[in-house]
Amino acid sequence: MVGAGTMGNGIAHVFAQAGWDTALVDVAADALSRALQTIQANIERLVKKGAGSKQQGAETLGRIRTSTSLDAVQEADFVVEAASEGATIKRTLFRELDRAAPAGAILASNTSSISITALAAATKRPAQVIGMHFMNPVPVMQLVEVIRGLETAEQTTRRTVEIAKALGKTPVEVSDSPGFVSNRVLMPMINEAIFCVMEGVATPEAVDTVMRLGMGHPLGPLALADLIGLDTCLAILEVLHHDLGDDKYRPAPLLRKLVAAGRLGRKSGQGFYGYRD
- Which amino acid belongs to residue 232? T
Active site residue 133: yes
Buried b (16+ CB within 10 A) or exposed e, 110-136: bbbbbbbbbbbebbebbebbbbbbbbb
Give the whole-angstrom CA distance, residue 143 versus residue 49.
21
Buried b (16+ CB within 10 A) or exposed e, 47-83: eeeeeeeeeebeebeebbebeeebebbeebebbbbbb
User: Which of 81, 85, 145, 238 is flagged as catalytic?
Assistant: 145
CB within 8 Å of 106: residues ≥ 6 apart? 77, 78, 79, 128, 129, 130, 156, 159, 160
User: Which of 9, 110, 115, 183 is flagged as catalytic?
Assistant: 183
Active site residue 145: yes
Give the whole-angstrom CA distance, residue 2 versus residue 11.
10
Give the whole-angstrom CA distance, residue 103 versus residue 97.
11
In eight-state DSSP terms, residue 192 is H
User: Which of 81, 85, 110, 133 is flagged as catalytic?
Assistant: 133
Active site residue 242: no
CA atoms within 13 A on the CB side of 14: 24
Q: Left (φ > 0), alpha (ψ -120 to 50) or beta: where does 170 sit?
A: beta
User: Which of 42, 112, 115, 191 is flagged as catalytic?
Assistant: 112
Hey, which residues does 175 pair with through a beta bridge? 148
Active site residue 183: yes
In eight-state DSSP terms, residue 127 is G
Catalytic residues: 112, 133, 145, 183
